[in-house]
Amino acid sequence: MAIKKILCFCGSGLGTSFIMEMNAKKALANLGITGVEVDHSTIDDVQAGAADLFICGADLLPNATKAGKAIGLNNMVSMDEMTEKLKEAFEL
């Protein structure tokens, strides 16, 4: 399945999820991946069909895997980790 929509989320859907969204967009651009919508939200919006890939902190990963394909970050502000995990998700 092609990844066309990514949803970054945290508990409240404000600061951390927004930072992950910005970093995901930068990482995708650096990897040359286009045509992917990236948004951020709260954990309450994590449900099957809401996105093709969910990105969250490692502590929230069990919530995301129930809804679909997911990436859990140990350091939610690390560009290196974001880039590496997106490379794996896109099988690059």
Question: Cα separation of 5 and 51, whole Å?
Answer: 5
For the chain, domain boundaries: 5-89
Helix (H) or strand (E) holding 63: helix 61-65
Q: Is 24 helix (H, G, I), strand (E, B) or coil?
A: helix
This prediction has a pTM of 0.94
Q: What is the pLDDT along the chain (92 residues), one digit of tens a residue?
A: 699 999 999 988 678 999 999 999 999 999 999 999 999 999 999 999 999 999 999 999 998 999 999 999 999 999 999 999 999 999 99
Q: Among 3.90.550.10, 1.10.357.10, 3.40.50.2300, 3.40.50.150, name the CATH number for the domain at 5-89.
A: 3.40.50.2300
